Copies of this chain bind each other. A is one copy, B any other.
Amino acid sequence: MKKYNFSPGPAILPASVFKEAAKGIVNYQDSGLSLLEMSHRGPEFTAIIEEATALVKELMNLPAGYEVLWLTGGASTQFFMAPMNLLDAGETAAYVDTGTWANKAIKEAKAFGNVQVLASSKEQNYNHIPKGVKIPKDVKYLHLTSNNTIFGTQYHKFPKSPAPIVCDMSSDFLSRPVDVAPFGLIYAGAQKNLGPSGVTVVIVREDLLGKVNRHLPSMLDYRTFIKEQSMYNTPPVFPVYVSMLTLRWLKKLGGTKVMQRRNKLKAGLLYDEIDANPLFVGTAAREDRSLMNACFVMNKGYESLEKEFLALCENNGLVGLKGHRSVGGFRASIYNAMPKQGVQALAELMRDFATKKG
């Protein structure tokens, strides 16, 4: 049975990427060696990380002055590393609280400077993105979470900000074209749209660095990674390799514009079904619905069917659909690598289920 994986992350990657990655583990490019045992300073891996970096630059259409770095520790490490590098004691950074991860970013930042939370949708269980938020002129940066994996909301338009935007793009990185110019720092744990877990991509405007007075350990200073091209110490070779393969796939398909078109089409199919189906209801405000994570629950009166539908999905090869405990119900994560057929299969199953139960 063909399976479709709707997990929120680690998440689906292109089947061709899995195949190629597996080959490299046994015998990398007929070298007689596994990629896992190769020196990170050898020509093989150097070519991989250089290509991965170049592809991010190309696919994100990076302006001059931005660097692409490969780190570890996930977005959770960026929650403190960003303020540690950018926000001096006594300075203020602005945050918008759009969900669990934004909240953690706020918590970690507070140790490094003043944190001004401009808006929060917490009271409404983060079911929307706060609008009309006024961004003070004198803040060091504005922190946003572009897509909220848990609550299924997404910025479809970023607010105009007088300060550089620092953005957690973990769950919608490279899912659409983004004008990078307003951003000072973009970070993304790979394990949603880019690769397996174990690597974090960071895009940073170099001129913002080196302005805080605190001590930065070498491994927590973005400048170390810039200077050594992410090779100050041994990088996570395999996660970087798989990310590079995914980036190649993305470029071959046509880049972020094509991805956006595909993602709109896929999400449209699913949200249309959610809206038309009497058994289900979406949890996020329509205008903020994420193209990456569609959250929905059983409609009023049908709550008792939740387990049955989840089991039906599993039995039909549609896996990873259980919603996060913060929202309940279902969450369909439909990242770049999810084929349209997967979303169609889910929508059809919802339709069939409604016919049977309605």
Nearest-CB residue, chain B, relative to A73: B72
Instruction: Mark each residue of chain A from 1 to 38: 1 if its CB lies under 8 Å from any CB of chain B, else 0.
Output: 11101011111110000110111011000001110111
Choice from B7, B19, B74, B217 contacting A38 with Cβ under 8 Å: B7
Choice from B234, B242, B319 contacting A74 with Cβ under 8 Å: B234
Contact between B37 and A5, CB atoms less than 8 A apart: yes
Choice from B12, B25, B32, B218 contacting A37 with Cβ under 8 Å: B12
Interface bin, chain A? 35 or more
From residue A102, how far is it (CB to closest CB) to chain B in Å? 15
Contact between A25 and B26, CB atoms less than 8 A apart: no
Choice from B74, B218, B234 contacting A191 with Cβ under 8 Å: B234
Contact between B76 and A232, CB atoms less than 8 A apart: yes
Of the candidates A11, A25, A215, A320, the one having the most CB atoms from chain B within 10 angstroms of its own CB is A25
Contact between B73 and A237, CB atoms less than 8 A apart: no
User: Could you say which residues of chain B place their CB within 8 Å of the CB of A215?
Assistant: 111
Count this chain's copies in the assembly: 2
Contact between B198 and A237, CB atoms less than 8 A apart: yes
From residue A32, how far is it (CB to closest CB) to chain B in Å? 4
User: Could you say which residues of chain B place their CB within 8 Å of the CB of A9?
Assistant: 39, 234
Query: A233 interface residue, CB < 8 Å from B?
Result: yes
Nearest-CB residue, chain B, relative to A195: B36
Contact between A199 and B197, CB atoms less than 8 A apart: no
Nearest-CB residue, chain B, relative to A9: B234
Instruction: Mark each residue of chain A from 333 to 346: 1 if its CB lies under 8 Å from any CB of chain B, else 0.
Output: 00000000000000
Contact between B25 and A21, CB atoms less than 8 A apart: yes
Choice from B34, B191, B217 contacting A111 with Cβ under 8 Å: B217
| Given contacts A233-B76, A236-B197, A37 and B22 within 8 Å (CB-CB) | no
Contact between B3 and A32, CB atoms less than 8 A apart: yes
| Given contacts A25-B22, A80-B217, A80-B218, A198 and B34 within 8 Å (CB-CB) | no
Closest 5 CB pairs of A and B: A198-B236, A72-B72, A80-B217, A76-B233, A36-B196
